[in-house]
Structure 1
Amino acid sequence: MAANEPPVCDFNCPAPDFRLPATDGRIYTWDDIAGPRGTLIMFICNHCPYVLAVLDRIVRDAKDLQGIGIGVAAICSNDADAYPDDSFENMIKLVEKAGLPFPYMHDEDQSVARAYHAACTPDFFGFDARGGLQYRGRLDASRMKPAPEDAPRELYDAMKQVAETGEGPRDQVASVGCSIKWKPAA
């Protein structure tokens, strides 16, 4: 499985809106997710070894970020026909198994992933309170195996800075993960 790396942060790029179904039966838009001090949108999936290696850390950081006013949500955009592990039904199972404390939405037509220019799973997009992109980096130094427990919490620290100052760090290390599983071109 080849690793894919997204581009660096395009500071202040506006957050694309969306309207997506989630595993909790609701339909969410950007406005439903946006937090008063910033917003984190994550592209993840159910089967990616990079995501599974850090899912507990994603849950931990999401809870901590929600506690400081950051809205958090995750989106699965993978082609579930080609990758059945990423089906909506399996998304529901992942939420239950991992106890995800945020909406996990399904981007079946992949339009939201394209609008965000998502490249891999996990791919993190951290926005300020006005919806301007401030972070497009990694969770921490983990790859297919978790980094040491004392590794810096890069995503958390960056989003805490966004919540406090409205600006993300200028030095960011891109996330690494499996490529988005795109549907064949029609």
Structure 2
Amino acid sequence: MAATPSVCDFGWQAQPFALPATDGKTYTLDDLKDDNGLLVMFICNHCPYVLAVLDKIVRDASDLKTLGVGVAAICSNDPQAYPADNFDNMRKMALDHAFPFPYLHDADQSVARAYDAACTPDFFGFNGDLGLQYRGRLDATRVNREAPDLRRDLYEAMKQVAETGKGPAEQIPSMGCSIKWKAA
């Protein structure tokens, strides 16, 4: 079922975390941020919305790093109910797609809850002070319907954040599969 996150809460402060990554390291928020900001993405392995833009996520992450923006991806889905999203499969996806960013596992889903993540993909773009400045879509790509010359909404917004510390006033929310929460 498709889900849409809420609009950007400008200035909301990134919540600290320490999560294991597919590269065998544990990363904190401070490890990931760079001088001009941080992009935190909630993604997963099986979501068709993520898979439709995965190559663009990798491209934009590489391009953002050159602008001094740190990048990380987090998988918070319940791996018992969705085995495609388990840690071994996360590791395989990161290797197969040569992720230029850490792919983190939020096993207890506490980080997704702290960020109020709604869907995959869900993008949180922070400035150098870790204040939220972007919570929008990657671009206008939709599952099974792509145009090669789409405006790079996420990249352009984060470029603006890197240059000015402020995100665009107008943002179009991302759309994707809902986070797969563990049963209570």
* TM-score, normalized by the shorter chain, greater than 0.5: yes
Q: Which amino acid aligns with 1:58?
A: I
How many residue pairs match? The answer is 184
- Contact 1:43/1:75 (<8 A) preserved: yes
Question: Matches of residues 39-118 of structure 1 in structure 2 within 5 Å?
Answer: 39-118=38-117
Gaps of 5+ in 2: none
Determine the C-alpha separation between the residues in 2 that align with 1:146 and 1:32.
36
Whether contact under 8 Å (1:62, 1:102) holds in the other structure is yes
Deviations 1:40-77 (CA, angstroms, capped at 9, x unpaired): 00000000000001100000000000011000000000
Question: What's the CA shift string for 1:90-112, capped at 9, x where partnerless?
Answer: 00000111111000000000000
Provide the alpha-carbon RMSD of the alignment. 0.6
Query: Unaligned stretches of 5+ in structure 1?
Result: none
**Residue 151 of structure 2 corresponds to residue 152 of structure 1:** yes
C-alpha distance in 1 between matches for 2:145 and 2:98: 19
- In the other structure, the counterpart of 2:177 is 178
Q: Following TM superposition, by how much is the alpha carbon of 1:147 offset from its aligned partner in structure 2, in angstroms?
A: 3.1
TM-score (norm 1): 0.98
What secondary structure does 1:68 align onto?
coil
Distance in 2 separating the partners of 1:4 and 1:25: 31
**Cα deviation digits, residues 122-144 of structure 1 (max 9, x gap):** 00000000000000000000121
Q: Hey, what's the Cα distance between the residues in 1 that align with 2:49 and 2:143? A: 5
Runs of 4+ in 1 over 4 A off after TM superposition: none
Q: Could you tell me the percent identity over the aligned residues? A: 65
Matched to 2:30, the amino acid is D
